[in-house]
Amino acid sequence: MKNFEETIEKLKKYDQTHIIKIMEKLTEEEKETLANQIEKLDFENLKNLYNELTKEEVNSEKVIEPISALKKNKLTEEQLEEIDALGKNIIASNQFAVATMSGGQGTRLGYSKPKGTFKIDVEPEPKYLFEIVCDTLKRANKLFDVTIPWYIMTSEENNDEIIEFFEEHNYFDYPKKDVMFFKQGQMPLINEQGKLLISENKVIKEASDGNGGIFKSMSISGCLADMEKRGVKWVFIGSIDNVLLKMVDTTLIGLAEERGVDIATKSILKNNPYERVGVICKKDGQVGVIEYSELSKKLAEAVDEDGDLVYGESHIMCNLFSINILKKLAEITLPYHKAHKKNSYLNENGELVVPEEPNSYKFETFIFDSFNYVDDIAILRGTREIDFAPVKNKEGVDSPETAKELYNNYWRNNKE
């Protein structure tokens, strides 16, 4: 039988004694499960995150500089051909892989199953979001006579359901040996006093650690090693919910090769200076994404010689990473962003409390924070109607309805 002394010491040291009280009411088996979880948790990190939460935010003045995007129409036909040839060569020589992030909860869509299993009513027949991604890959495979390895990030919560879905649909005829699933990591939730929450299942309540968790989980799961074994040099990482996402873009890959950078991203130009989206720029010399709220009116309105917004390159989760930078990023912990949420929990008497107001913090890392770890990135300016049709909300903007329209319009004009 397990000795719980160490667990109790750890809980006392980190001021989590409420858990000791709950433990007293658990069966030996439940106690053991909880103790195993506690053993693995990084309490020091949680303590630091909590201390950060309570610190006053310092509004430091950052030096903001733009990073210009490549506009395809600024290139001559020969220049574009050269860049595309570099990209084609990478794909055709099996040095390219795709990862799809589908670990999100899709709360705004209000669909209880994994977002990728959502069916959208496009022409000529409705398709699942996973199927749309798969179709894009199949078209590229045919064009370049390869099979692009496809890595799918799931979460602890939706992993089994996603695998079952793929089995049920026979992997949409994608070669099964080239589809790899991996789970993203989790982070415990803490309440406003820095205490861990215990769930109804009598374990510490955890939630997905955000899409920035992809780097570590790719490594832990062995996917990164699998890529290396296959000789992959570039990995495209995209979201599951953009029905126009161009994952296999020869210009994006060629541009990264030509510029000698480790990260390339495709952006779209902001609709107007005040659109509430993050834009890619440099902050104190470091590449990053700046929130609309951090951008002064003057900078937001600045335009270049073409009349385009200087700070207008919005991040659309359309990113390409070299295998080398993925290996480095797997060793780094990206900064955590907090979200104040409602979460039920067991109190010291073992009773379930369902809060009516946000009572706890969830910690997430964001994929674009990885940009901070390189000196420069290449940005390719995409086009809204061609590259971006997100399914985020149940109704209104960025909903299945708007995505369907954009998808249908695109495919009426483009036959591949």
**Footprint on this chain of ligand UTP (rule: CB under 6 A):** 101-108, 115, 153, 184, 208, 210-211, 239-241, 317, 392
We find the least distance from the C-beta atom of residue 277 to ligand UTP, in angstroms, to be 12
The answer to whether the CB of 265 falls within 8 A of the CB of 338 is no
We find the least distance from the C-beta atom of residue 208 to ligand UTP, in angstroms, to be 4
We find the least distance from the C-beta atom of residue 104 to ligand UTP, in angstroms, to be 2
Report the alpha-carbon distance of residue 30 to residue 189 in Å, rounded.
20
Closest CB to ligand UTP among residues 101, 281: 101
As beta bridge partners, residue 353 has: 345
Closest CB to ligand UTP among residues 101, 180: 101
Strand pairing report for 345-346 and 352-353: antiparallel
Closest CB to ligand UTP among residues 206, 257: 206
We find the least distance from the C-beta atom of residue 305 to ligand UTP, in angstroms, to be 34
As beta bridge partners, residue 288 has: 281
Closest CB to ligand UTP among residues 209, 262: 209
Strand pairing report for 313-322 and 234-239: antiparallel
Cβ neighbours around 414 below 10 Å, total: 8
Query: One-letter amino acid identity for 155?
Result: S
Closest CB to ligand UTP among residues 21, 119: 119
Closest CB to ligand UTP among residues 11, 162: 162
We find the least distance from the C-beta atom of residue 215 to ligand UTP, in angstroms, to be 12
Closest CB to ligand UTP among residues 7, 211: 211
With CA atoms as reference, report the closest residue to 174 among 145, 134, 139, 140.
Answer: 134
With CA atoms as reference, report the closest residue to 179 among 154, 157, 202, 216.
Answer: 154
As beta bridge partners, residue 187 has: 207
Q: Where do we find the tokens 């199927």?
A: 131
Q: By beta-carbon distance, which residue lies closest to ligand UTP?
A: 104
We find the least distance from the C-beta atom of residue 22 to ligand UTP, in angstroms, to be 27
Residues near 132 by beta carbon (within 8 Å), at least 6 away in sequence: 120, 122, 243, 407
**Tokens standing for residue 35:** 């103790």
* Helix, coil or strand: residue 15: coil
With CA atoms as reference, report the closest residue to 116 among 219, 3, 239, 291.
Answer: 239
Closest CB to ligand UTP among residues 1, 397: 397
We find the least distance from the C-beta atom of residue 109 to ligand UTP, in angstroms, to be 6
We find the least distance from the C-beta atom of residue 303 to ligand UTP, in angstroms, to be 29
∠ CA 294-300-302, nearest 5°, is: 145
Residues near 126 by beta carbon (within 8 Å), at least 6 away in sequence: 119, 120
We find the least distance from the C-beta atom of residue 340 to ligand UTP, in angstroms, to be 14
C-alpha distances (whole Å) from 240 to each of 31, 271, 318, 323, 387 are: 38, 23, 11, 21, 13
Closest CB to ligand UTP among residues 87, 212: 212
